[in-house]
């Protein structure tokens, strides 16, 4: 795989900010020919540097108003990861990460209300390798994953 150069980083920066930016406008900003830009974007897609394009949704405006972190302590037994992994299929789960520290995993969820949160926590607790959950409500946020853009 070829390395990502400075022009590619600039392309990634602008696409990360606005993936719907017209290619002619982006080419003008970067001072490169539009065909060169499109070839570079295709190369970034082919090399899986750009995996997909997504919308950033304001969940509060859709009625999904709560966000919570659920820390999980796991019973370590053979194939525990294989048993734990299906939790990622719960629709309200926004991210599911294995971590170090006092917990073994952390899940972020977005739900409409406390009843939905209770349902999700109970679903997680049904998993045979989950020994304990600790749930924390998010009161406010300063930066979310969709705000991350290292290609400055």
Q: Are 125 and 84 in contact (CB under 8 A)?
A: no
pLDDT tens profile 53-101:
999 999 999 999 999 999 999 999 999 999 999 999 999 999 999 999 9
Whether residue 13 sits in one domain with residue 36: yes
CATH number, domain of 132, equals 3.30.70.920
Give CA–CA dist 43/40, Å, rounded.
5
* Domain with 32 in it: 6-46
Whether residue 72 sits in one domain with residue 14: no
With respect to residue 149, please indicate whether it lies within any of the assigned structural domains. Answer: no
pLDDT tens profile 13-41:
999 999 999 999 999 999 999 999 999 99
Whether residue 63 sits in one domain with residue 38: no
Q: Are 2 and 43 in contact (CB under 8 A)?
A: yes
Of 91, 12, 95, 19, residue with least CA distance to 55:
19
CA distances from 138 to 64, 66, 96, 116, 129 (A): 13, 7, 16, 15, 26
Whether residue 131 sits in one domain with residue 63: yes
The pTM of the full predicted model, rounded to 2 decimals, is 0.86
């Amino acid at each position: 795989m070829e390395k990502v150069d400075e022009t590619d980083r600039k392309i990634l920066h602008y696409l990360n900010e606005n993936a719907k930016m017209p290619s002619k406008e982006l080419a003008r900003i970067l001072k490169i020919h539009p065909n060169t830009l499109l070839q570079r974007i295709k190369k970034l897609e082919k090399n899986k540097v750009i995996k997909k394009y997504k919308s950033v949704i304001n969940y509060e405006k859709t009625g999904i108003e709560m966000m919570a972190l659920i820390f999980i302590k796991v019973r370590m037994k053979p194939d525990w990861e294989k048993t734990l992994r299906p939790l990622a299929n719960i629709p309200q789960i926004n991210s599911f990460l294995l971590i170090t520290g006092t917990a073994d995993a952390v899940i972020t969820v977005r739900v409409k209300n406390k009843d939905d949160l209770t349902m999700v926590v109970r679903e997680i607790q049904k998993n045979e390798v989950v020994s304990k959950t600790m749930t924390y409500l998010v009161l406010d946020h300063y930066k979310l994953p969709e705000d991350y853009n290292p290609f400055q």
